[in-house]
Amino acid sequence: MISPHPITIVGGGLAGLTLGIGLRQRGVPVTVWEAGRYPRHRVCGEFISGGGQGSLARLGLLGGLRAAGAGAATSAAFYAGQALVAARPLPAAALCISRLVLDDWLAREFQRLGGELRSGARWAGEFGAGMVRASGRRAEPVADGWRLFGLKVHARGVVLDADLELHFVPAGYVGLCRLPGGEVNICGLFRSTAPVPDLALRWRDWLGGPADSVLHARLAGAHFVDDSFCTVAGLGLRPQRAAQRHECSLGDALTMIPPVTGNGMSMAFESAELAIGPLAKFSRGELPWAQAQAAIARDCDRAFSTRLRWAAWLQRALFQPSARAALLFVVARSERLWRGIFARTR
């Protein structure tokens, strides 16, 4: 019997670990290289919305994540400045869990199944047959003249009107999401034409919103969990096609979807699930590498192209004040439109 070809995954985030787990469930030898260490905070709204929950269920991971503290979110409210503009039930429940817990839980599960995890180890080599890039976003310092960056912090003592509140501020948007255990995740996406060098000092100004805003009032009594603060810059949100990537790429390494959709983690899980079958076949010698890579790229493009187009449109509209006001006005009045946008962006 021919021994299986091992798979090497670069990046032990959501896409890499989920793929590693799926491959281990099929007996494939897998090594994951992860530059960081667990547990660690990540910039993320920590709101999992979309088909990725199905991927987690099919991989048998949903029950364990619920036991680890993942909770359901069923309502959303949208604010601009001093006003609540719309409040809506979510057409499908989202799953909320801290990345501190989620990534660590997946890493342990991968190891429990016999996967080799090299944490604190950055891959610097080439990507050949049997290698998967799940290394997260590809840095894009300036996109269309704008620098996009994200900030996240957890806090206690914040009372929300809905499981997810989305506050629109002049430079972007800030999501407030209820987490199990009484903490709230505060995560914002912002844009600036000039470099913003002092984020570590001024993050409260960015996440806190203008002085007269609902967001500012919400956070007035917040007790920030300082060591949860993290930041990420160089975000590029232009949709990419897997077929044009030279490497087998999954999750954010394939393409990023605008965070407003709350669908990025879902895409990481979904793309990992799509890759398991072809990679397992390659490992068993039943599929040449080029064909395995092409099958994964085709399936990812089929699954993601439409939602990426809609999400890019939504992101553009939300950054133009008049388009955003019109969109929120209609969402507040039309359940059908709200459901339509929700469905098309995930």
Ligand X SMILES: Cc1cc2nc3c(=O)[nH]c(=O)nc-3n(C[C@H](O)[C@H](O)[C@H](O)COP(=O)(O)OP(=O)(O)OC[C@H]3O[C@@H](n4cnc5c(N)ncnc54)[C@H](O)[C@@H]3O)c2cc1C
Q: Which is nearer to ligand X, 55 or 263 (CB)?
A: 263
Restricted to residues 294-323, the positions that interact with ligand X (CB under 6 A) are none
Radius of gyration of the chain (CA): 20
Task: Give the interface segment with ligand X, choosing from 107-115, 261-269, 291-299, 323-331 (CB under 6 A).
Answer: 261-269
**Which residue in 262, 292, 297, 327 binds ligand X (CB under 6 A)?**
262
Q: Cβ(269)–Cβ(254) under 8 Å?
A: no
Least CB distance from residue 268 to ligand X, whole Å?
A: 4
Separation in Å, CA 68 to CA 180, 286, 295:
10, 37, 34
Least CB distance from residue 311 to ligand X, whole Å?
A: 11
Least CB distance from residue 259 to ligand X, whole Å?
A: 3
Q: Cβ(276)–Cβ(22) under 8 Å?
A: yes
Q: Which is nearer to ligand X, 228 or 284 (CB)?
A: 228
Restricted to residues 33-92, the positions that interact with ligand X (CB under 6 A) are 33-36, 42-48
Q: Which two structure tokens, joined as six digits, stand for 25?
A: 């469930």
Contact status: 10 vs ligand X (CB under 6 A): yes
Question: Pattern 111-140, binding to ligand X, x per CB under 6 A?
Answer: -----------xx----------xxx----
Q: Cβ(153)–Cβ(38) under 8 Å?
A: no
Q: Cβ(22)–Cβ(110) under 8 Å?
A: no
**Which residue in 8, 13, 59, 233 binds ligand X (CB under 6 A)?**
13
Q: Cβ(179)–Cβ(73) under 8 Å?
A: no
Least CB distance from residue 13 to ligand X, whole Å?
A: 2
Separation between Cα atoms, residue 185 and residue 109, nearest integer Å? 25
Contact status: 16 vs ligand X (CB under 6 A): yes
Contact status: 95 vs ligand X (CB under 6 A): no
Q: Cβ(344)–Cβ(310) under 8 Å?
A: yes
Least CB distance from residue 286 to ligand X, whole Å?
A: 27
Q: Which is nearer to ligand X, 13 or 130 (CB)?
A: 13
Contact status: 105 vs ligand X (CB under 6 A): no
Contact status: 273 vs ligand X (CB under 6 A): no
Separation between Cα atoms, residue 30 and residue 7, nearest integer Å? 5
Bond preceding residue 195 cis, omega within 30 of 0: no
Q: Which is nearer to ligand X, 12 or 278 (CB)?
A: 12
Contact status: 208 vs ligand X (CB under 6 A): no
Q: Is the dihedral of CA 230, 188, 98, 139 positive or negative?
A: negative
Separation in Å, CA 278 to CA 22, 26, 98, 298:
12, 12, 31, 11
Strands 71-80 and 83-96, bridge-based pairing:
antiparallel
Q: Cβ(311)–Cβ(258) under 8 Å?
A: yes
**Which residue in 62, 87, 113, 232 binds ligand X (CB under 6 A)?**
232
Q: Which residues bind ligand X (CB under 6 A)?
A: 10-16, 33-36, 42-48, 122-123, 134-136, 150, 187, 189, 232, 235, 251-253, 259, 262-266, 268
